Amino acid sequence: MTEIKNFFYILILFSPHLLNSVYSAYYYKCQESYCIKEEITNNTTDPLLSLPECNVLCLDSAGLWPKPTGNVSISNLTEINSSNFIFSPFPNSSIYNLVNKSIEIFRYQINELKPCRFFLKSTSSNLTSVNITLNISDVESNTPKIDTDENYNLTAVFDEENNVIQVTVNSATYFGARHGLETLTQLVVFDDIRNRILLPSNISISDGPKFKWRGIVLDTSRNFITPKAIKRTLKGMAASKLNTFHWHITDTASFPYVSQSRPELSEAGAYSARKVYDDQTVRDIVEYGRVRGIKVVPELDAPAHVGEGWQNTGVLTCFNWTPWGSYCNEPPCGQFDISQSEIFNYLEDIYGDMLDQFGTEIFHMGGDEININCWNNTDTMTDWMVNEKGWNLTKSGFYEAWIYFQQEAQARLWNKAGKDVPIILWSSDLTALDNVTDVLPTENYYIQVWTTADDSAIQTLLNKNYTIILSNYDALYLDCGLSSWVSTGNNWCSPYKGWQTVYDNKPSDIAGNKTSQVLGGEVALWTEQTDSSSVDVRLWPRAAALAETLWTDPSTDYSAAEERMLLHRERLVDLGINADALEPEWCFKYQQHCPSSGVFNV
């Protein structure tokens, strides 16, 4: 890359025509709230707006993503000295280091806007500088939580006398201020017609999310996802104002998590010694997320979805049994043998490790896709059920065993945490029990729903006063639509879920008058057919569609957001994220000409 840049510098130095004041044969003008491409001629009298400039001035909400929920007023794009962003000193406090890191990220992202030719331009001493002040009322809250206030107000006023734009971000917490800086980053644009950096000199934005839980669940067990790729995911989340990284860190296929207390599990269960998440790596990822306003929530799935790593513990059954279709939903199979009490000593130790690394606000225990036939063919378990517990070997008896496991696991988690940590479980046969509120009290459990949006079980859970998290597979499973990896045809949850489907998956349409019980939602990426080389293209920009749905709760469908989505996809690419192409680039440059119902497609 360095060689390419050096070649580009030499090319420009010996090609003076590249340094002309106008770098394009085309410009854009605003028409019906969209940007229209026009040829520059000798008779052109319109202002020569570049596409980035026009997007800010013309598109809905200045092209911002996610769309702000309050007032948006933008005017007077002004050329600025992009090397002279001056931040007012921030007082020493619990968030001092977070603020400084956020400023570093801001400066880096602005610098990445500039193409090579920008650095060859002579800089005028008369360019407008930018002063930025962060006013944060709570300077002690330094960890993102479910109830963290993420609201912010962003203002900019031009001080003509001093030739400076005074930018102010007001927020209750650091995390709201971080969102404000993210919005400001999107308003700094490179004018590729005149080779300059622009910022509106007058800004007034009030903003804050509609839903508290806006996230991604990423499986790192079926295929290992490198820490570098995970950080790219977190970077994209921050740019889209997603705030929860749900880390499905282990499963039957591998156990890459290095437990400080039980290291033998990853030694036996990781794909290789290089494909693990050790203590330092986990803490680094948690911190990387914290700086970007993202809480990292671990999931230790059980009593199903266990296999590799547990082979020599004496607590595992059904591991890699065949034919696998009789004992689990996909290979390899594996479940805990609930009769083995040593399970809970293992789990308590691992819970302690994870709580120390991830915090004690909330914990995901998985808890779905139990295969009763697996347990029914495990002699030690059936003997224990009948002879020690007095349970029959019908479905209801096995549900008793499942309840026993969940309550004992809960007790061990709470013992390690020293408090009643709220627990998330996936929806399952257990959460569908008539007496589920006796087994899983609503004050202690959140239910993450993965079945279809029209599943009557959702309304049943809401009527029982559960708070739910939406991950309905008919809209939010991003691994759908690929070929089957266990047979012919397509995979089980086909078809592919486009960004439009993700965007239009509105909580209010699913929960109706119980929408207040929806904490939020997550897109899910299960990695049977994804690894570090493809994780970006599977997640992005579709995950950003969920970000706007849960931040803004828009009253319109995806079509009203299409131009802003294409713009945000470009932002993600500029950040080094390999976001999938949604349309030909031509559509990005000819707004509303590609959609069949587009304004100009008449």
DSSP state letters, 547-574? HHHHHH--SS-GGGGHHHHHHHHHHHHH
CA distances from 115 to 49, 112, 121, 198, 454 (A): 18, 8, 11, 14, 48
Q: What count of Cα atoms within 13 Å lies in the side-chain half-sphere of residue 118?
A: 19
Across-strand partners of 483? 490
pLDDT of residue 602: 79
pLDDT of residue 22: 67
pLDDT tens per residue, range 472-523: 999 999 999 999 999 999 999 999 999 999 999 999 999 999 999 999 999 9
Provide the 3-class DSSP secondary structure of residue 509. Answer: helix
Q: Is 369 known to be catalytic?
A: yes
For the 213-589 domain, the top CATH level (class) is: alpha beta
Query: Is the predicted pLDDT of residue 4 greater than 60, yes or no?
Result: no
pLDDT of residue 123: 66
State phi, psi for 497 to the nearest 5 degrees: -100, 100
Give the Cα separation of 324 and 329 in Å (integer): 8
Res. 145 pLDDT band, cuts 50 70 90: very high
Judge contact between 506 and 553, C-beta under 8 A.
yes
Is residue 471 exposed (0-12), middle (13-18) or buried (19+ Cβ within 10 Å)? Answer: buried
Is residue 188 exposed (0-12), middle (13-18) or buried (19+ Cβ within 10 Å)? Answer: buried
Give the Cα separation of 77 and 203 in Å (integer): 10
Res. 237 pLDDT band, cuts 50 70 90: very high
26-31 and 34-39: which strand pairing? antiparallel
Nearest to 478 by CA among 448, 500, 502, 450: 502
pLDDT of residue 114: 80
DSSP state letters, 398-418? HHHHHHHHHHHHHHHHHHHHT
Long-range residue pairs from 346-349, CB within 8 A, at least 24 positions apart, any chain: 346/262, 346/265, 346/313, 346/315, 347/300, 347/302, 347/409, 347/412, 347/413, 348/412, 348/413, 348/415, 348/416, 349/259, 349/261, 349/262
Cα–Cα–Cα angle for 242, 245, 247, nearest 5°?
160
Query: Is the predicted pLDDT of residue 136 greater than 60, yes or no?
Result: yes
Long-range residue pairs from 495-501, CB within 8 A, at least 24 positions apart, any chain: 497/542, 498/542, 499/541, 499/542, 499/544, 499/545, 499/558, 499/565, 499/582, 500/545, 500/557, 500/558, 501/475
DSSP 532: T
Res. 468 pLDDT band, cuts 50 70 90: very high
Burial per residue of 138-157, b for 16 or more beta-carbon CB atoms within 10 angstroms, e otherwise: bbebbebebebbbbbbbbbe
Task: Give the pLDDT mean for 431-440.
Answer: 97
pLDDT tens per residue, range 117-130: 666 566 667 899 99
Judge contact between 158 and 78, C-beta under 8 A.
yes
The CA-based dihedral angle spanning residues 56, 58, 60, 64, taken in that order and rounded to the nearest 10 degrees: -10
Query: Is the predicted pLDDT of residue 134 greater than 80, yes or no?
Result: yes
Tokens, residue 564: 């802003």
CATH of 2-207, one of 3.40.50.2300, 3.20.20.100, 2.60.120.380, 3.30.379.10: 3.30.379.10
Q: Mean of the per-residue pLDDT values for the chain?
A: 95
pLDDT tens per residue, range 191-230: 999 999 999 999 999 999 999 999 999 999 999 999 999 9
Give the Cα separation of 185 and 575 in Å (integer): 12
Q: What is the 3-state secondary structure (H, E, C) of 168-215?
A: EEEECCHHHHHHHHHHHHHHCEEECCCCEEEEEEEEEEEECCCCCEEE
Give the Cα separation of 270 and 252 in Å (integer): 11
pLDDT tens per residue, range 275-295: 999 999 999 999 999 999 999
Domain boundaries, the chain: 2-207, 213-589
Judge contact between 131 and 164, C-beta under 8 A.
yes
Give the Cα separation of 234 and 290 in Å (integer): 10
Provide the 3-class DSSP secondary structure of residue 132. Answer: strand
User: What's this model's pTM, rounded to 2 decimal places?
Assistant: 0.95
DSSP 14: T
Task: Give the pLDDT mean for 164-170.
Answer: 98
pLDDT tens per residue, range 344-393: 999 999 999 999 999 999 999 999 999 999 999 999 999 999 999 999 99
Task: Give the pLDDT mean for 245-258.
Answer: 98
Judge contact between 309 and 266, C-beta under 8 A.
yes
The count of other CB atoms within 10 Å of the CB of residue 203 is 22
pLDDT of residue 120: 57
Judge contact between 356 and 322, C-beta under 8 A.
no
Tokens, residue 440: 């899983």
Catalytic residue among 369, 400, 528, 570: 369
Query: Is the predicted pLDDT of residue 585 greater than 70, yes or no?
Result: yes
Query: Is the predicted pLDDT of residue 309 greater than 90, yes or no?
Result: yes
Nearest to 293 by CA among 181, 393, 395: 181
pLDDT of residue 568: 98
CA distances from 549 to 58, 90, 189, 518 (A): 22, 33, 25, 13
Alpha helix ranges (H) inside 249-394? 264-269, 279-291, 342-358, 372-376, 379-383
Q: What is the 3-state secondary structure (H, E, C) of 442-460?
A: CCCEEEEECCCCCCHHHHH
Residues in CB range of 52: below 8 A, 6 or more apart: 189, 190, 191, 192, 198
pLDDT tens per residue, range 13-72: 444 444 446 678 999 999 999 999 999 999 999 999 999 999 999 999 999 999 999 999
